[in-house]
Structure 1
Amino acid sequence: MFRISQYLREVVEAERTGVYPHPKRHGSPPGPVVIWNLVRRCNLTCKHCYALSADHDYPNELNYAEVCTVMDDLKAFRVPVLILSGGEPLLRADLFDIAARAKAMNFYVGLSTNGTLIDAAMADRIAAADFNYVGISLDGIAAVHDRFRRKEGAFDASLAAVRHLQQRGVKVGLRYTMTAMNADQLPALLRLMKDEGAQKFYFSHLNYAGRGNIHRAKDAHFVATREAMEQLFDAAWADAQAGSEREYVTGNNDADGPFLLQWLAQRAPRWVEDVRQRLQAWGGNASGLYVANIDNEGIVHPDTMWWHHKLGSVRERPFSEIWSDTTEPLMAGLKQQPRAVHGRCGDCAHLSICGGNTRVRAQQTTGDAWASDPGCYLTDEEIGFVSEVA
């Protein structure tokens, strides 16, 4: 996850004080953020679903006792954050029992939902569960969102959910995945975020996994991606200067870091090198390092977009052992710093910032996890790459 607002707030503070506020590190890093797909069933069949979910039960899912055993191991492994997801996690009968246990163990607990099942009564339950954050997916306004979600009325139901939760003081964010089919919706969604008082906007680049892989030919063109990033940077910059607590973050394309440096060079050039140091400390793509996925059957993956690659089952080995096992070739490569990428990524001047970007895109399109990421929207000139082709 690329935290746009965090870096731009630091630049605003530097502009105010004349000193860049480099945060201090304390101790060894914790375990990874775990995105946990507790259930695969979903009431929607979205076009870009990485889990290929549908509205029926799936066999062999972890039961409550197994979830608790895994949770104990995650806590001992110093995992700080659990994002409870699906499918649609609200379709899991013991979701609130799981959430209560996670909160009692002092995890930061997020809920990722499509929002369509959140009426006033469900909003009361979510508020009582004290989730740290609830993310609701919106891919456009009205009919555009409904087409993505393949359900008429989905937008109205999800927007109603945002309002129900806002009224109960729950921290709510909007989650948006951009493709060529909905790239024009971003300005309206950013306005909606402000109008509805949502505290966070998560922009996801389309990744080549699950249904997103099937529809990769409809991914937004690079020009549209750059324009979208500029809109997000502009919005986050304006809010940072105004002292707003709204957050803007992106995911699934770590070229966003180098592109932010280019954007800053036109607006606050004095602080570009300080931000570069911050981005190098961030390190870019976190798959296999600082973000992990456990699916509904207890299979561990390097992140949610790697569902086709299984690292092991928590029914057979603890998560902590699976995650630390570098005899697994993909994990060994993901944990290697710098990663042994080649092509444009290997020669990129920004490799220390983006970490080689999203390896699953390279693997899905070329069969080689270490090839150039086809989703990088920076030009050869911008990354310092000299093509051998005249």
Structure 2
Amino acid sequence: MFRISQFMHELAQAEATGVYPAPARRTGKSPGSATQPLGPVVIWNLIRRCNLTCKHCYAFSADHDYPGELSTQQVFDVLDDLQAFNVRALILSGGEPLLRPDLFEIAARAKAMGFYIGLSTNGTLIDEPLAQRVHAAGFDYVGISLDGIGATHDKFRRLEGAFDRSLAAVRHLQKLGTKVGLRFTMTELNAFDLPNLLNLMRDEQVDKFYFSHLNYAGRGNIHRGKDAHHLATREALDLLYQTAWDDARSGGQHEYVTGNNDADGAYLLQWVRQHLPRWADDVQQRLVAWGGNASGVHVANIDNVGDVHPDTMWWHHTLGNVKARPFSEIWMDLSDPLMAGLKTRPRQVHGRCGGCQYLAICGGNTRVRAQQVTGDAWAEDPGCYLSDEEIGVAPGDARVVTTAYRGRKVIELVPSDS
């Protein structure tokens, strides 16, 4: 995740004081032991069942039960291991997590253990009584997906009236004081609605806006031929950066973040060089410290049956199962070539990514897109929207382009220099 607002607030502070602020430290203490690094943010798909069949669903969810899902006690056992491993943040997802009967029991247990807990939902099930239950459960954040206004959203979600129901959920939770965010995945079919959604965020006084680039997993991979073109992506980022900058400069506290394309960090540096060149070196240092793509490092995924993945987009690659081994053991096992490669710094990528001057910032971007399009997890990411000139590589060689889905590629897991 790329936290645009964090950088914009730092820039606003620098402009006001004449000094770029010091970075916040990311450390933590494991219960009953010495200081150790924080564990990854765990996105946990507690259930695969969903009342919708969205076009870009990475989980291929549908409205039926799936066998083998973790029991309540198994979830509690995993929570104990995550706490001991110094994991602090959980994002409870699905499918539609509100369809899991023990969701609030799980949430209560996690809150009592001191976890930050977010809820990722499509919002269509949240009427006023359910909103009160969600609020009472103490979720630190609820993300509700809106992929356009009205019929645009309904078409993505394949349910007439989905937009109205999800917007009603936002309003119910806002009224109760729960922190709410809008989640938007952009493709060429809904890019035109981004300004309208940002206006909706302002009008509804929503706290957070999450802009997701399309990643090639699940139905999102099947529909990758409708991914936004690079020019549309740049225009969207220009709008997001300016909106976040205006908010930070005026003292606003809204959050604007992006996900699934770590070229956003390099593009922000270019924005700063153009608009606030005085702080470009400071921002570059902060971006290098951020390090870009966090799959397999600072972000993890546990799916509904307990399989562990480097992130939610890697469901076609399983590292192990928490029914057989603790998450903490699976996560630190580098015998898996993909995990070994993801944890290597710098990552041994090739093509445009290997020669990119911003590799230390983006971390090689999203390896899933590279693998799904080329069959090689370490090839260039076709989702990068920066030009050869911008990234400092010689022009002339043909770029890897996103082609329509025609079946799964063979995964190449051996790093390029081995």
TM-score with structure 2 setting the length? 0.92
Residue 29 of structure 1 and its aligned partner are, at CA, apart by: 2.9
Unaligned runs of 5+ in 2: 28-35, 399-418
Q: Is the 8 A contact 2:240 2:256 kept in 1?
A: yes
Residue 26 of structure 1 and its aligned partner are, at CA, apart by: 5.6
Q: Is 1:165 the counterpart of 2:170 in the alignment?
A: no
1:22-71 Cα shifts (integer Å, max 9, x gaps): 22436453000000000000000000000000001111000000000001
Residue 268 of structure 1 and its aligned partner are, at CA, apart by: 0.8
- 1:4 is matched with 4
1:4-39 Cα shifts (integer Å, max 9, x gaps): 000010010001111100224364530000000000
Distance 2:369 2:88 in 1: 27
Q: Is the 8 A contact 2:182 2:209 kept in 1?
A: yes
Q: Is the 8 A contact 2:389 2:395 kept in 1?
A: no
Aligned pairs for 1:1-390 (under 5 A) are: 1-25=1-25, 27=27, 28-387=36-395, 389=397
- CA RMSD of the aligned region, Å? 0.9
Q: Is the 8 A contact 1:22 1:278 kept in 2?
A: no
Residue 10 of structure 1 aligns with an amino acid whose one-letter code is E
Residue 266 of structure 1 and its aligned partner are, at CA, apart by: 1.6
Residue 168 of structure 1 aligns with an amino acid whose one-letter code is L
Residue 267 of structure 1 and its aligned partner are, at CA, apart by: 1.2
CA 1:59–1:12: 2 relative to 1, 3 Å: same
Distance 2:208 2:103 in 1: 23
Residue 337 of structure 1 aligns with an amino acid whose one-letter code is R
Sequence identity percentage: 72
Q: Is the 8 A contact 2:26 2:38 kept in 1?
A: no
Distance 1:371 1:266 in 2: 30
- 2:402 is matched with none
Residue 298 of structure 2 aligns with an amino acid whose one-letter code is Y
Distance 1:369 1:389 in 2: 20
Residue 74 of structure 1 aligns with an amino acid whose one-letter code is L
Distance 2:126 2:218 in 1: 26
1:294-317 Cα shifts (integer Å, max 9, x gaps): 000000000000000000000010
Distance 1:193 1:322 in 2: 39
Residue 133 of structure 1 aligns with an amino acid whose one-letter code is Y
Distance 2:49 2:9 in 1: 39
Distance 2:382 2:24 in 1: 35
Distance 1:239 1:255 in 2: 22
Residue 387 of structure 1 and its aligned partner are, at CA, apart by: 3.5
Distance 1:146 1:318 in 2: 40
1:169-222 Cα shifts (integer Å, max 9, x gaps): 000000000000000010000000010111000000000100000000000000
CA 1:265–1:336: 2 relative to 1, 3 Å: same
Residue 240 of structure 2 aligns with an amino acid whose one-letter code is L
- SS of the residue aligned with 1:266? helix
Distance 2:143 2:389 in 1: 37
Residue 264 of structure 1 and its aligned partner are, at CA, apart by: 1.1
Distance 1:376 1:102 in 2: 37
Residue 210 of structure 1 aligns with an amino acid whose one-letter code is G
Between 362-371 and 380-389, report the one with greater CA deviation: 380-389
Between 23-32 and 66-75, report the one with greater CA deviation: 23-32
Residue 80 of structure 1 and its aligned partner are, at CA, apart by: 1.1
Distance 1:29 1:350 in 2: 26
Q: How many pairs are equivalent?
A: 390
Residue 12 of structure 2 aligns with an amino acid whose one-letter code is V
- SS of the residue aligned with 2:275? coil
Residue 265 of structure 1 and its aligned partner are, at CA, apart by: 1.3
TM-score with structure 1 setting the length? 0.99
Residue 109 of structure 1 and its aligned partner are, at CA, apart by: 0.2
Unaligned runs of 5+ in 1: none
1:271-302 Cα shifts (integer Å, max 9, x gaps): 01101111100000000000000000000000
